[in-house]
């Protein structure tokens, strides 16, 4: 016991400095995580009309192509529209369900598992199944079809994030509000919603990102009249060898990176 302090000091020092082997491994893995994706950025400034990498000549051509092509812009607009509507629907359904599940004592677990199922089951099985039924209902190739399918896929994310924010919530506050005479709706609006607001917001963002990125179900539901951005990207590789996908990919990579890093940087500024 006498040398305990020295052990813990040594441990503390060791905690801060990784061994060289481990350090090298971390750098390598970080490279593998990030570098392959970044290939799309130099690609997008290429001048050639193939997927050659690295490009021999440079140009803004594929950005100009992206922002002037009716097809690419329509795909982008469809993706944004489907994403916002699907996320909104998933958020409304998910918040209501999370509130109900939070108060259920029996059977809640089973229902929750069922609502989470869209996230766990293999995408291709889900896609083919939904496609089969939507063909009969004539929902394939419609905005409504995309929104419904993507809302189902986004629901688990809303459920999870709202449940997390409800974990720190004490139902007694609702009773306190009620005992002070607050009508039920006012309680919901002024007590419950502010507490779960961060969870609701992150659920919405997750659901939007899920929809915006979703390609398997979208590939089956698409028709020539309505495609989402990932579908257009898929086709530009498989059918057309159209380097505009490099510009589209770069825009998405830069956009999501900013979305991801800005909050982290802001938080750090606040702390210091």
* Residues of span 44-73 touching other proteins by CB under 8 A: 51-53
* Under rule CB under 8 A, residue 181 binds other proteins: yes
225 touching other proteins, by CB under 8 A: no
Residue 195 sits at the vertex; the CA angle it makes with 82 and 96, to the nearest 5 degrees, is 50
Cα-based angle 103, 209, 73 (whole degrees, multiple of 5): 145
Residue 226 DSSP SS3: strand
> Across the chain, which distance is largest between two alpha carbons, in Å?
78
* By CB under 8 A, residue 221 contacts other proteins: no
Q: Scanning residues 121 to 180, which ones bind other proteins (CB under 8 A)?
A: 121-134, 148-149, 151-152, 155-156, 160, 174-175, 178-180
- What are the residues whose beta carbons fall under 8 Å from the beta carbon of 39, sequence distance 6 or more? 53
Out of 2, 13, 114, 239, point to the residue binding other proteins (CB under 8 A).
114
Nearest to 227 by CA among 149, 165, 146: 146
Range 200-219, binding other proteins (CB under 8 A): 209, 212-213, 215-216
Q: Is 86 in the site for other proteins (CB under 8 A)?
A: no
Tokens of 272: 């210091």
Q: Which stretch binds other proteins (CB under 8 A): 56-64, 68-76, 189-197, 233-241?
A: 233-241
Rounded least distance, CB 53 to other proteins, Å: 5
Q: How many residues bind other proteins (CB under 8 A)?
A: 102
Measured from the CB atom, the residue of 72 and 220 that comes closer to other proteins is 220
Q: Does 245 participate in binding other proteins (rule CB under 8 A)?
A: yes
Instruction: Please identify, among the stretches 22-30, 56-64, 65-73, 190-198, the one whose residues bind other proteins according to the rule CB under 8 A.
Output: 22-30
Distance CA 188, CA 60 (A): 51
**Contacting range for other proteins; rule: CB under 8 A; set: 60-68, 70-78, 194-202, 244-252:** 244-252
Which H or E run includes 167?
helix 143-167
Q: Does 74 bind other proteins (CB under 8 A)?
A: no
* Binder among 220, 226, 227, 244 for other proteins (CB under 8 A): 220
Q: Say whether residue 183 binds other proteins (CB under 8 A).
A: yes
Q: For the CB of residue 72, give the shortest distance to other proteins in the complex, in Å.
A: 13
Tokens 């825009």 belong to residue: 251
DSSP per position, 42-66: HHHTB-SSS--SS-SSB-SHHHHHH
Contacts of 117 (CB under 8 A, 6+ apart): 156
Nearest distance, CB of residue 86 and other proteins, angstroms: 11
Q: Is 178 exposed, middle or buried (0-12, 13-18, 19+ CB in 10 A)?
A: middle
């Amino acid at each position: 016991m006498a040398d305990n302090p020295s052990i813990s000091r040594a441990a503390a020092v060791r905690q801060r400095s990784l061994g060289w082997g481990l350090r090298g491994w971390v750098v390598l893995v970080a490279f593998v995580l990030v570098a392959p994706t970044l290939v799309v950025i130099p690609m997008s400034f290429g001048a050639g009309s193939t997927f050659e990498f690295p490009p021999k000549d440079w140009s803004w051509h594929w950005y100009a192509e992206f922002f002037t092509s009716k097809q690419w812009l329509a795909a982008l607009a469809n993706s944004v529209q489907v994403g916002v509507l699907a996320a909104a629907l998933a958020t409304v359904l998910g918040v209501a369900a999370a509130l109900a599940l939070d108060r259920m004592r029996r059977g809640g677990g089973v229902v929750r598992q069922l609502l989470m199922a869209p996230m766990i089951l293999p995408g291709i099985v889900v896609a083919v199944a939904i496609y089969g039924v939507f063909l009969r209902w004539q929902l394939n190739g419609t905005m409504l079809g995309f929104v419904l399918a993507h809302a189902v896929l986004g629901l688990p994310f809303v459920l999870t994030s709202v449940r997390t924010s409800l974990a720190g919530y004490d139902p007694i506050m609702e009773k306190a509000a009620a005992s002070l005479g607050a009508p039920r709706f006012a309680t919901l609006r002024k007590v419950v919603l502010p507490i779960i607001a961060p969870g609701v917001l992150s659920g919405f963002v997750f659901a939007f990102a899920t929809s915006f990125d979703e390609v398997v179900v979208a590939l089956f539901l698409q028709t020539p009249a309505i495609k989402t951005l990932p579908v257009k990207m898929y086709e530009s590789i498989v059918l057309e060898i159209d380097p505009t996908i490099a510009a589209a990919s770069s825009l998405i990579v830069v956009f999501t990176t900013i979305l991801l890093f800005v909050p982290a940087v802001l938080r750090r500024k606040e702390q210091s």
